[in-house]
Structure 1
Amino acid sequence: MEKKRYQGASNDKDRSKQKLIQAVGTVVKAKGYTGLTATNISKAAGLDRKLVTLYFGSVDNLIEIYIKSKDYWVAASGEVNNLTEDNQGKDTKQVLEKLLLNQLDYFYGNEEMQKIVLWQISQRSQIMFQVCEEREQLSSKFFALTDKELKGKDIDLRAIVGLLVAGIYHMVLHAKTTDSLFCEIDINKPEGMKRIKDAISLILESAYSNFNKTI
């Protein structure tokens, strides 16, 4: 019987790569996106700086991998495929509502992602451009399904979803950075969060029920 080969070196490499990816988040939370240097990341990981280039090619590649692992919409691509497959491309409102409500919970509870979105809207970078492009590819697949379901109906779902996603980002960032009310609503309290979730559901219900109007 052939003996199994020892995989220690491979396991060490995998562990080191994961440490470096996780260290990006540590640096983001402590220093913001301006602190994302190979030196800071490797120091946070407790590893040699040279491993960043050895394992990822560049610090930008490492940061991109980290961001994609944290980005809700990129990570949700598999969930979208599963949900639409279960619904056979119908009742997209149910899929969209679940995605938006989950996004609100995820973004509210993820400090690293909040820092990333602040980076995205405050500074132009190739890394964030690529991540945004991947998000758009995901949304294109989903909107292709909604176009079939809502064909001939006077509803601009892309504009509605754009406002809802932007609203989620802004309300969470406002609540987390200023700790103050927004339109007399405090989403740091359960009742405030519930009001926003109910509003999201109401907006989608109203949009999808607009079936009596035709173009």
Structure 2
Amino acid sequence: MRSKKSERRDLTQDKLIRAVGTVLSNQGFKGLGVNRVAKAAGVDKVLVYRYFGGLPELIEAYSKTVDFWPTVDELRGPNPDSLNRLKPDQQVAQFFKSFLSALRKRPTTQDILAWELLEKNQLSKHLEAIRNRTILEYFERLDQVPDNRMLSAVVVLMAGAVNHLIIKTRITRSIGGFDFDSQSSWGEVNAAIDLLCKGIFDS
């Protein structure tokens, strides 16, 4: 049985980790500091150093939470074995459709991505690292990585497009004649992802 002291420590750590997301969402990276995070968590700032070592380590802990970023297992879906039976273009398309769906569920992450366009510093790099690792691991866990010399460039370009769309729909729900309050608009985006990936890998 775990002691009450251990339970209190875990609770405090969780409060601090969640507070990082809250502060980043509302204040951006320039507004992120130990004092502000501790205040948002309702705890003494000394606990940031005691439990994490400092602000960079606390941000890294936040980056590893599912609240911020989807796991590879989430992106692979409930039937990951089926991914290996898909054609290369379908494997890549499925990644981006899952990626888009995962970001839509995370409004705080959407805000943070928007702040990154305006403010980049050493702290923001901690959040970039987990995103890159997730993409790499997704494709590494396929039995056969899609054979295309432009795969890395395609992933960068498509990821940028998905991020931009997610940020844009956080600001306005009407883009280019599409109503993104409607599920049918998202369905058309998914169909476009399928079409684009098929064109790239069939060429």
- Which range, TM-score by smaller chain? 0.7 to 0.9
What is the match of residue 37 of structure 1? 33
Give, in whole Å, the separation in 2 of the partners of 1:48 and 1:33.
21
Question: Any idea what SS the aligned residue of 1:131 has?
Answer: helix
Does residue 107 of structure 2 align to residue 111 of structure 1? Answer: yes
Conserved? CA contact 1:84–1:95, under 8 Å: no
Deviation of 1:197 after TM superposition, in Å, equals 1.3
Give, in whole Å, the separation in 2 of the partners of 1:25 and 1:142.
24
| 1:111-190 superposed matches below 5 A | 111-143=107-139, 150-151=146-147, 156-177=150-171, 179=172, 181-190=174-183
Cα RMSD over matched residues? 3.1
In structure 2, do the counterparts of structure 1 residues 68 and 145 end up closer, same or farther at CA, with 3 Å as the change threshold? closer
Listed one character per residue, the Cα deviations across residues 136-181 of structure 1 (whole Å, up to 9, x for unaligned) are 3443455567895544x6x62322222222111111211222x253
Give, in whole Å, the separation in 1 of the partners of 2:75 and 2:189.
22
Looking at secondary structure, tell me which structure has more helix per residue: 1
TM-score, structure 2 normalization? 0.79
Give, in whole Å, the separation in 2 of the partners of 1:192 and 1:84.
25
Alignment gaps of 5+ in structure 2: none
Letter in 2 for 1:170: H
Paired residues in the alignment total 201
Alignment gaps of 5+ in structure 1: none
| 1:8-87 superposed matches below 5 A | 8-69=4-65, 70-72=67-69, 75-79=70-74, 86=81
Give, in whole Å, the separation in 1 of the partners of 2:107 and 2:77.
27
TM-score, structure 1 normalization? 0.76
Deviation of 1:23 after TM superposition, in Å, equals 1.5
Conserved? CA contact 2:72–2:137, under 8 Å: no
Q: Which has the larger radius of gyration?
A: 1
Does residue 191 of structure 2 align to residue 193 of structure 1? Answer: no
Q: Percent identity?
A: 24
Letter in 1 for 2:156: G
Bigger RCO (CA 8 Å, 6+ sep): 2
